[in-house]
Amino acid sequence: MPDGEDFYMGPIPLGYYSLTDLKLGLIHIEDIAECNDAMRVEAENRARLNPTS
């Protein structure tokens, strides 16, 4: 996504929060950072459980 939008838009399809919540200002930058951290941990755990090599 342009201009780093994936940082705050990435968690939306995964259900961490909604676009409406984001637009209304109900989500704080700290919440977004926590969601991104959780997404990274989840991806790492999946990669470790399903190695491709």
Considering the entire predicted model, what is its pTM? 0.79
Radius of gyration of the chain (CA): 13
pLDDT digits (tens, 9 = 90+) for 19-51: 999 999 999 999 999 999 999 999 999 999 988
Q: How many other CB atoms are found less than 10 A from the CB of residue 11? A: 21
**Res 53 pLDDT > 80:** no
For the chain, the straight-line distance linking the first and the last C-alpha, in angstroms and rounded, comes to: 30
| CA 17 – CA 35 distance, rounded (Å) | 9
- Residue type present at position 39: M
Q: Shortest CA distance to 23 belongs to which of 8, 34, 37?
A: 8
